[in-house]
């Protein structure tokens, strides 16, 4: 009985020591991964910062083209509505005898 208790105690001690060691290793791996991710993010950020002027010019051009096309369609719709309104006015005047 005494031997069995000693062997159980020894097994428990070994398990605790190995779990502490495992936790330590996991902590080291987590820190390494954080370092790698930080480096990757910094590289990506630097790459994005290097090309804002080119992208900004393209984006400005695209936005200006979209804005111009929307203004043109707005003006076309305005003209169409005015023509329809004038036609309806003429029809009403004719029906009323003016």
C-alpha to C-alpha distance for 41 and 38, rounded to whole angstroms: 5
Give the integer Cα–Cα distance in Å for 36 and 80.
61
Tokens 């000693």, located at residue: 6
Lowest mean pLDDT among 43-47, 55-59, 70-74, 83-87: 55-59
For the record, the structure tokens of 84 come out as 């329809």
Whole-number average pLDDT of the chain: 79
Which string of DSSP letters, residue by residue, matches 59-83? HHHHHHHHHHHHHHHHHHHHHHHHH
Does the pLDDT value for residue 27 go beyond 70? yes
- Asked whether the predicted pLDDT for residue 17 surpasses 80, the reply is no
Q: Is the pLDDT of residue 18 over 70?
A: no
| Whole-Å CA distances, 78 to 17, 19, 61, 71, 82 | 81, 76, 26, 10, 6
């Amino acid at each position: 009985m005494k031997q069995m208790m000693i062997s159980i105690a020894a097994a428990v001690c070994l398990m605790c020591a190995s779990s502490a060691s495992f936790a330590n290793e996991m902590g080291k791996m987590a820190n390494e991964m954080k370092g790698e991710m930080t480096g990757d993010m910094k590289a990506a950020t630097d790459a994005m910062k290097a090309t804002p002027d080119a992208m900004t010019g393209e984006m400005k051009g695209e936005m200006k083209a979209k804005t111009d096309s929307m203004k043109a369609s707005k003006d076309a719709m305005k003209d169409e509505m005015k023509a329809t309104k004038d036609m309806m006015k003429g029809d009403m005047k004719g029906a009323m005898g003016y």
